[in-house]
Structure 1
């Protein structure tokens, strides 16, 4: 009797485990944010699968009543366990194999069949989802339904839910099946992932537009890979000339100046409370794109906090800096400094976007990156770090720094620069020149140039293969 009870309990546990396996299979093989496209099995199949446990339990009880040997009970249980495990594995395999079919049904569903464009994204790190989120409001303002397509399954749950778009994933599908609905006129991208090429090659009747996730003087903003796209949406003439200045030849008609539609007008009215925002960038994967001052951050924060004239400092390191080996050490030093500093020093809240911090800042300290260009939109003074110790001659290659106050390599002068920027601001006129150079839509309502550029593309009829 004890053996029977143990085996019946094991059957119950196996059934619960199979239910969990099925639920995990549904989650792991989701193809979109539409519940109707989730993997499901017919009611009859569910009943038959669960009946296996009931049948096994019945046979075991019957065997016990008939006084069949314990060995027979164990053999019967093992036979059931093997069949049930096979059923669960088959269920998971079927869920994976059905992804392409469920995705094809999605593209004719009412919610997605009239999507006029798509936004494709691929990146290995969860933190990189900001490449998507920074563009969503601008894309929603275009006024047409669209799709957000992610290559990796992990990003499907990270994209905010919205009525203006559905999020779908190409995870687990071969390149030949990464096709978009025929209603789409264009595909937008925000990075230079190597998987973008698969989508370009698989959807040849559509316009492919590179947005990038920021406009900066760093190599990604003049990558030769940009030649693969039909159009390059850029913030201003600075971005256009950046390609030519770095020997990347792209025809002028492929550029479209659209400004930075994410940036809201900033308050530049002088106030009694002086706030310094310090934002470091990511070191990157290659030395030629490493402009990060993250390793100097504690020194910079301490120096600024000790020299007066500032009421608070807000620190926001790039989210990918968590991969830096010194991350935990710098966090510990930061909170030690924050406890003893004469003025409030805050670590920016995770939900605070860079654009919200730009609005709070009276002076920004940052590295050569898209951060200083985005901040430049507001016209307020900024300080540029120089941890690599670039000479004046080298700095000519980075036109965005012309409107900023340049730190020494060791950042010893950062406090003096903050005081200079807040009090006299002698670079105000030069900064305005750089601002006009960096943004081509300053005389227009926010986002209008971007929307018009999008409408020009998505209103065109879909090209036929013969037209290619």
Structure 2
């Protein structure tokens, strides 16, 4: 557990300090309570509970997952820490009311924990619909926040009152009364939360959401019907959606995505049950975008008044980019001509007029990061980004180089002369399906210091692009986006195909320095990163960029595509009404 915590926190000094306080406060509180140091006990427990509350922020989410996997979650930690309350009074208090009040406060805390967890479970699993940013405060999600994480003021108040009550018998009675009052307020706040959950269950939640939707009148929807681990597919679009001229709404089905979606200006609602989509008021919506192919997409595909488009979540040569399921959408939005050509090459017949070239609007963010980055110093130590993709949904392990030669790549980079700086950025789904990929991921992480690892969700991929002088990767969407930087890149060929056939199947890698499973080609790639004179593929890379990415560096093509799709839909609806 210790190594996992260290890996998650990295060089985050405030995080290290708060985690240390959170853990050390448990034995320290019990020890000071046992010897009767009332004031110090109160201080230690209050500080520990504050650390628990503070680290419930999003940036510490992985830390709490690691601790929970070690069976040392917030409930056990807080129960052990707050046990200092009754322990302290056993040795010090001469007032029976004070002892009883403090014990009752601790038992109340345990009861609150149990009831609060049941309430949170109901909110997550039974409530159905929830919303964020649409003006219905009662429907704001509580998922991800622990019901006991906000109890530190109550615990602190009880301990302070208990400590002060040691001075005299009169103070003991006052302390008992104060503890009872504080506990009553705390219990009242929990009752209000339970009442809120019960009041807004079932159809009442849908009525509240529909009322808000009629007031907001969204015109464009991004729909995510995938599982919790697919949150990144929606996240890549949130900044672009925030900048659209139309009113936009994000709808998703899996409530666990509340923990995955990044903050944005765009309102978000979660509608879990298929039956609830039958009553969901989307009468104002004209265009629905789908970032992934999922069976749940039928919830909105079935509505004839909506124009539908598949936008995907990145441009790549993977087979997922030419899924025949894509035929169900009215339009397919691709970055450049390469995205359209892939379907023809794969034998998936789709009429040419179904394709719209929108570029990669996300690259405006990368352009800003590249402009803000210091000029590349070819005389210094080059930075190499190793960003392998994940193992994919099939049994073919060659999707990711991580399994075949990930460890060898990292060791070769560490041994390179002159030296290089390494950034390792794994795909967020790595190891979720294949035990071999999970083992390879751990092996690579164990080789590297924390400063060389960029975990998904703890840093932006485009920040890694801005820092890198060379990227080593697999066939994936990071290839297309990295082309925008005009920097050299390498793709690892572990497919078993010859280099010629491998390139023929994957046009986006045709300007890359290919590396095979034995690392042949790595030296040439490193030379290209060190000096322009060795970067023999620079011109080819620049020409490939337009073919792959289309119109880049602006949101205008995407906004124009949205405007045109809505205009087509308006015309269709007008004809339908007049018939």
TM-score, L = length of structure 2: 0.63
SS at 1:383's partner residue?
strand
Specify which structure has the bigger relative contact order, considering alpha-carbon pairs within 8 angstroms and separated by 6 or more residues. 1
Contact map agreement 1:123 1:193 (CA 8 A) in 2 = yes
Partner of 1:238: 338
Task: Note the alpha carbon deviations across 1:131-153, whole angstroms, 9 max, x for none.
Answer: 11111111111122211100111
| 2:493 corresponds to which of 381, 386, 408 | 386
| 2:547 corresponds to which of 434, 437, 440 | 437
Residue 308, structure 1, aligned to residue 417, structure 2: yes
Residue 292, structure 1, aligned to residue 391, structure 2: no
Residue 414, structure 1, aligned to residue 522, structure 2: yes
1:310 and 1:345, CA in 2 relative to 1: closer, same or farther beyond 3 A?
farther
How far apart are 1:309 and its partner, in Å? 3.6
Task: Note the alpha carbon deviations across 1:402-438, whole angstroms, 9 max, x for none.
Answer: 1101111332442343224543111112212211211
Partner of 1:317: 426
1:252 and 1:301, CA in 2 relative to 1: closer, same or farther beyond 3 A?
same
Contact map agreement 2:253 2:270 (CA 8 A) in 1 = yes
When structure 1 is superposed on structure 2, of 404-413 and 267-276 the one drifting more is: 267-276
Partner of 1:170: 271
Task: Note the alpha carbon deviations across 1:66-85, whole angstroms, 9 max, x for none.
Answer: xxxxxxxxxxxxxxxxxxxx
Contact map agreement 1:37 1:103 (CA 8 A) in 2 = no
Contact map agreement 2:210 2:281 (CA 8 A) in 1 = no
Report the Cα distance in structure 1 between the residues aligned to 2:451 and 2:443, rounded to whole angstroms. 12
| 2:217 corresponds to which of 105, 114, 137 | 114
How far apart are 1:247 and its partner, in Å? 1.0
| 1:198 corresponds to which of 290, 299, 305 | 299
| Higher percent of residues as helix | 2
How far apart are 1:124 and its partner, in Å? 1.7
Aligned pairs, number:
403
Task: Note the alpha carbon deviations across 1:156-179, whole angstroms, 9 max, x for none.
Answer: 3432343x3211112024165264
Partner of 2:477: 370
1:166 and 1:409, CA in 2 relative to 1: closer, same or farther beyond 3 A?
same
Residue 128, structure 1, aligned to residue 128, structure 2: no
How far apart are 1:251 and its partner, in Å? 1.3
Partner of 1:76: none
SS at 1:165's partner residue?
coil
Q: For residues 182-221 of structure 1, what are the structure 2 equivalents within 5 Å? A: 182-201=283-302, 203-221=303-321
Partner of 2:240: 138
Report the Cα distance in structure 1 between the residues aligned to 2:117 and 2:546, rounded to whole angstroms. 58
Q: Which runs of 5+ in 1 are unaligned?
A: 40-87
Contact map agreement 1:131 1:213 (CA 8 A) in 2 = yes
Report the Cα distance in structure 2 between the residues aligned to 1:434 and 1:420, rounded to whole angstroms. 18
Partner of 1:105: 211
Q: Which runs of 5+ in 2 are unaligned?
A: 1-99, 141-193
Residue 338, structure 1, aligned to residue 445, structure 2: no
Residue 32, structure 1, aligned to residue 131, structure 2: yes
Contact map agreement 2:484 2:545 (CA 8 A) in 1 = yes
How far apart are 1:216 and its partner, in Å? 0.6
How far apart are 1:287 and its partner, in Å? 4.1
Contact map agreement 2:249 2:266 (CA 8 A) in 1 = yes
Contact map agreement 1:383 1:418 (CA 8 A) in 2 = no
SS at 1:95's partner residue?
coil
Partner of 1:65: none
Report the Cα distance in structure 1 between the residues aligned to 2:389 and 2:341, rounded to whole angstroms. 23
Task: Note the alpha carbon deviations across 1:282-336, whole angstroms, 9 max, x for none.
Answer: 1111146952111121110111221224431100111111424246644554355
Report the Cα distance in structure 2 between the residues aligned to 1:140 and 1:462, rounded to whole angstroms. 26
Report the Cα distance in structure 2 between the residues aligned to 1:279 and 1:14, rounded to whole angstroms. 45
